[in-house]
Amino acid sequence: MAWKRKDLLGIRELDPAEITLLIDTAASLREIGTREIKKVPTLRGKTIVNLFYEPSTRTRTSFEIAGKWLSADVINFSASTSSAGKGETLLDTARNIEAMRPDVVVVRHSSAGAAELLARTLRCSVVNAGDGAHEHPTQALLDLLTIRERKGHLEGLQVAIVGDVAHSRVARSNIYGMRKLGMTVTVAGPPTLIPPQVQELGVKVSHRLEDAIRDVDVIMMLRLQHERMSAGLIPSLREYARYWGLTLDRLRASARSDVVIMHPGPVNRGIELSPEVADGPYSVILEQTQNGVAVRMAALFLLAGAKASQEVP
């Protein structure tokens, strides 16, 4: 099938074939990163703007590397160094950037819907690199790619997503993607960190880590933001780590021996993941980061390059 959308805003609106196309494309593009000369001419002459209103290391870098390996010109705008700091609105900034004729704008913003707002306004393609607690589609795609590589398939797998699901765009995008591809999802955390009626997204809910991780193929641990404590959602990091931190003992006691541990990063060592687990044989955290570049190449390629050449380079 061919990619038809102008933008990549979320997983929720994609159909399974589109998700699979993105993952397949990423899987075939990943090889570029292993070459001596890590560059193909596919997006030569194309301009990609990274418009980041929230701090980010791996996502922004990953989009930048992905664009450069495909020979696009990549420009980074970060809120702290751009006119946003002078009070310019998101739309004004975006319109001004569009006047410089980019082909793709990659946007991260703290407000849910920011990417969609840009997509409706701009003629160029928009990629959502995280909008509030709404969606982070390329993260879900790289997670799915990583799982498929490890397990050989996706359909029928059982996944536990553990932690601050309520504030997590990573969790939401993954829930949509996993459910569309026939996976079973359990979300787990204290009730204050689980969105009300989350079952309507087709997931099960657990309030006990040991129950949630039993017999699953994949455990996805989410990052706990420290401000959840001051908001009264959890009593302390200590108590959170004690009941929701994934330690080697807990893993061995309750999880399968071939379980895969994921984390979107950045990891709070000793809080949601003990160092032995984060660095241990179950962890695929660095594979996720590696696949992140491939998935972003796929997204940029399908949005900006596929019209010129349908062939994967």
Partner 1 sequence: MKLLIRNGRVIDPASGTDLQQDLLVEDGLIARSGPRLERTVAGAEVLDAGGKVVCPGLIDMHVHLREPGHEYKETIETGTRAAAAGGFTAVCCMANTEPANDTRAVTDYILAQARAAGAVRVYPIGAVTRGLGGKELAELAELAEAGCVAFSDDGRPVMNAELYRRAMEYTLPFGCPVISHAEDTNLSHGGCMNERAPTSIWPTSRPPAPSGSCGRPRRAARG
Q: Which residues are catalytic?
A: 58-59, 86, 108, 136
Of 156, 235, 266, 275, the one binding partner 1 by CB under 8 A: 235
Q: Which residue, 233 or 271, has its beta carbon nearer to partner 1? A: 233
Taking the C-alpha atoms of residue 114 and residue 96, their distance in angstroms, rounded to an integer, is: 16
Stretch that binds partner 1, among 11-19, 130-138, 228-236, 265-273 (CB under 8 A): 228-236
Decide if residue 232 touches partner 1 (CB under 8 A). Answer: yes
Using CB under 8 A, which residues numbered 122 to 161 contact partner 1? none
Decide if residue 57 touches partner 1 (CB under 8 A). Answer: no
Of 5, 39, 153, 207, the one binding partner 1 by CB under 8 A: 207
CA of residue 71 relative to chain centroid, distance? 23
Rounded to 5°, the CA angle 156-158-160 comes to 155
φ, ψ of residue 188 in degrees (nearest 5):
-140, 140
Residue 105 host element (H or E): strand 104-109
Interaction mask 163-202, partner 1, x per CB under 8 A: ---------------------------xxx----------
Decide if residue 236 touches partner 1 (CB under 8 A). Answer: yes
Number of residues that bind partner 1 (CB under 8 A): 16
Q: Which residue, 236 or 257, has its beta carbon nearer to partner 1? A: 236
φ, ψ of residue 136 in degrees (nearest 5):
-145, 75
Stretch that binds partner 1, among 107-115, 122-130, 170-178, 230-238 (CB under 8 A): 230-238
- Minimum CB–partner distance for residue 192 and partner 1 (Å): 5
Of 5, 153, 208, 226, the one binding partner 1 by CB under 8 A: 208
CA of residue 205 relative to chain centroid, distance? 21
Closest residue by Cα to residue 31 from 297, 307, 301: 297
Q: DSSP label at 271?
A: T
Tokens linked to 220: 């996805």
Residues contacting residue 281 through CB under 8 Å, at least 6 positions apart: none
Q: DSSP label at 225?
A: P
- Minimum CB–partner distance for residue 276 and partner 1 (Å): 23
Q: Which residue, 228 or 263, has its beta carbon nearer to partner 1? A: 228
Of 187, 209, 233, 284, the one binding partner 1 by CB under 8 A: 233
| CB distance 180 to 240 below 8 Å | no
- Minimum CB–partner distance for residue 171 and partner 1 (Å): 18
Question: What order of strands is seen across the sheet that includes strand 104-109?
Answer: 73-78, 47-52, 104-109, 125-131
Nearest-10 crossing angle of helices 137-151, 169-180: 50
- Minimum CB–partner distance for residue 214 and partner 1 (Å): 16
Q: Which residues bind partner 1 (CB under 8 A)?
A: 190-192, 207-208, 229-230, 232-236, 238-239, 242-243
